[in-house]
Structure 1
Amino acid sequence: MTVQNEEARPRRASHVDEELAIRFVNTVAWRRADEQEERLPSAEALLRWFAEARLFDAGFLRALSLEWKGDPVLAENGYQTALSLRETIYRALQSAASDKAPAKTDLSLLSQLLNAGPPGMQLSVQRGRYLWNADGHANGVCVLLMPVVISALALLTGPHSHKVKQCQDDRGCGWLFVDESRAQNRRWCSMGDCGNRAKARRHYVRQRDADA
């Protein structure tokens, strides 16, 4: 079951130092819990997420927002395509991390979106930052999702593919992360959040047992 907001749990921000594809996957919080939290509950929220990621020229995002507002069906189709991509990447990264072959349907979708990349995509530099842009004839949702597709494929085919892990927090966090630790024994998405909570829980149990 997916819920849009779960007040009983802390609302955390996804870690900005993670790969783009992982940050996108982590827009679902509490994946291993009975109830998940959807951080992208609408097409508008999807566009806001990309705006905050600062991947695109602002003009492109404004134009796409206006196009989607004028065509709700197009907006919904684009939104569902984005969610489908997110879950495809999630499954593919899980497969790579566990040395399992990904589902053919997942590889097919990633290939389709890669091949659908519009020829009108361009790279520009604004205030020292590289940004994507596209001409007015490009497929808006394909342009929007292309940086995520590129990030996912780079992660899947690169040296970090087997370093992707899933947070083992006992509340069911389930966020993905790349384990860069020397011993390859990292268990939590964040030591400052899930890790500290787990340490505090172990300390409490040890103290309780000692008192008993």
Structure 2
Amino acid sequence: MADLNKDKDVYTHDLIGERLCLDFANTVSWHDSKQSQEWLTSYEKLVNWCLHADILKKQQSLLLLKKAEERPSEAKKVLQQAIELRESIFQIFSSISNEKRPTSKDLSILNSALVNAYKMMRIVPEENKFSLDFLNREETLDGMLPPIVQSTVNILISEKELSRVKKCEGDPCGWLFLDTSRNRSRRWCSMADCGNRAKARRFYHNKK
């Protein structure tokens, strides 16, 4: 069986998006560059990232990896499906952050994923309220995708949150985030990363 600790690099990936779907959209380094770097290069890395993002528990991850070893062609298709969904999410929120309308193609991909996601959802009674939960995520190889779809829907139908979706100004970073700052002043994916690079460039130009 695949080892969850083999892809230790996945645990160094920062979750800076403030919402699950935005963190998922950020599973590519330098997303707006022709030299972008793909993180999800295997089904195993997809599962490990979902464990890192708390979509899956360890036991669920192990069961999915075992199923993937038994059904490698299906696992490959799910990986391709996940990447297609991620790119549609990225394009949708990139358009929105630039005050543009998302394309019908990207919305169609999301809507198809939404139909599949709702098949796996259920209403669960809790004390004095109800919550939305997902059927056993380890039962199907694409069981990690519905929570990502639901996170996307939650932002899209919330006027307040939708207006706070931004893209990092550190060109060509391309990472997305929800600006939760009080005065909506966040500009960078991280001050320690793109923020510091921008400060260094300003210092260089001023000195020059």
TM range (shorter): 0.7 to 0.9
SS at match of 2:18: coil
CA distance in 2: counterparts of 1:174 and 1:16, whole angstroms: 13
Q: Which residue in 2 is equivalent to 1:71? A: 71
How far apart are 1:83 and its partner, in Å? Answer: 0.2
Equivalent residues of 1:121, 1:135 under 8 A apart: no
Structure 2, unpaired ranges of 5+ = 1-11, 125-132
Moved over 6 A (4+): none
Q: Which residue in 2 is equivalent to 1:51? A: 51
SS at match of 2:55: coil
Q: Which residue in 2 is equivalent to 1:128? A: none
Q: Which residue in 2 is equivalent to 1:96? A: 96
How far apart are 1:183 and its partner, in Å? Answer: 4.2
Q: Which residue in 1 is equivalent to 2:22? A: 22
Q: Report the number of matched residues.
A: 191
Equivalent residues of 1:56, 1:132 under 8 A apart: no
1:4-44 deviation per Cα after TM superposition (whole angstroms, max 9, x unaligned):
xxxxxxxx732356210111111101112230011111111
> Please, what TM-score do these two structures have when normalized by structure 2?
0.79
CA distance in 2: counterparts of 1:149 and 1:75, whole angstroms: 19
Q: Which residue in 1 is equivalent to 2:176? A: 176
Structure 1, unpaired ranges of 5+ = 1-11, 124-130
Equivalent residues of 2:55, 2:144 under 8 A apart: no
How far apart are 1:118 and its partner, in Å? Answer: 6.2
SS at match of 1:140: coil
Distance 1:98 1:120, change over 3 A: closer
CA distance in 2: counterparts of 1:185 and 1:104, whole angstroms: 31
1:166-197 deviation per Cα after TM superposition (whole angstroms, max 9, x unaligned):
11224x21111122344434321111221122
Question: What residue identity is the alignment partner of 1:94?
Answer: S
Question: What residue identity is the alignment partner of 2:203?
Answer: H
Equivalent residues of 2:168, 2:177 under 8 A apart: yes
CA distance in 2: counterparts of 1:51 and 1:182, whole angstroms: 30
CA distance in 2: counterparts of 1:53 and 1:177, whole angstroms: 15
Two-structure CA RMSD over aligned residues (Å): 2.8
Q: Which residue in 1 is equivalent to 2:136? A: 134
SS at match of 1:134: coil
> Whose relative contact order is higher, 1 or 2, with alpha carbons under 8 Å and at least 6 apart?
2
How far apart are 1:132 and its partner, in Å? Answer: 5.4
How far apart are 1:117 and its partner, in Å? Answer: 2.6
CA distance in 1: counterparts of 2:37 and 2:173, whole angstroms: 10
CA distance in 2: counterparts of 1:20 and 1:135, whole angstroms: 16
Q: Which residue in 1 is equivalent to 2:112? A: 112
> Please, what TM-score do these two structures have when normalized by structure 1?
0.78
Distance 1:118 1:183, change over 3 A: closer
Q: Which residue in 1 is equivalent to 2:34? A: 34
Equivalent residues of 2:68, 2:74 under 8 A apart: yes
Q: Which residue in 2 is equivalent to 1:163? A: 164
1:128-164 deviation per Cα after TM superposition (whole angstroms, max 9, x unaligned):
xxx855177x5431x2100100011111221121221
Answer with 1 or 2: which has the greater Rg. Answer: 1
